[in-house]
Amino acid sequence: MNRIIKFRAWDKKNKEMFKPYCIEDTLSFNLDELSTKYSLMQFTGLLDKNGKEIYEGDIVECIDASRHNIVWNEDYACFCLSNRAYIGVNKQDMENYEVTGNTYENPNLLTNERK
């Protein structure tokens, strides 16, 4: 099995999400400059229940209508649900989740209750 490594980036100045054509498009800057201009998000290697790719920073909704942010956890070296940092995300669980947005374009999804 091959591991797919992809990134997307949030352009902080223009307030827009983009997927670089190749890693060199984004990483040609030094790291300090990169982090001031962009927020880089890595593909988790997982798909939601609709087959949509799940990236770090995505907001996913479970069948019980709870919403969670996908984050990288340094202590466990895995992608996790932000409010359940001790639980890594996995293929079986994510098949029950749906990507509803991301923390940059839709931060209100984590604070507003579902109606």
Q: What's the mean pLDDT when you consider all of the chain?
A: 82
Model pLDDT, residue 115: 41
- The answer as to whether 115 is a domain residue is no
- The answer as to whether 59 is a domain residue is yes
Which is nearest to 10 in space by CA: 76, 104, 74, 106?
Answer: 104
Model pLDDT, residue 114: 45
- The answer as to whether 1 is a domain residue is no
User: CA 113 to CA 95: how far, in whole Å?
Assistant: 22
* CATH code of the domain in which 22 resides: 2.30.30.290
- Residue-number span of the structural domain to which 50 is assigned: 7-110
Number of CB atoms found within 10 A of residue 100's CB: 15
CA 110 to chain centre: 14
- The answer as to whether 2 is a domain residue is no
E strand or H helix at 91, and its extent?
Answer: helix 91-94
Model pLDDT, residue 112: 54
List phi, psi (to 5°) of 86. Answer: -85, -5
Q: Does residue 70 carry a pLDDT above 50?
A: yes
DSSP, collapsed to helix, strand or coil, labels residue 32 as helix
Domain count, the chain: 1
- The answer as to whether 11 is a domain residue is yes
Residue found under tokens 């293929």? 91
Give per-residue pLDDT as tens, 24-48: 544 455 566 677 888 889 999 999 9
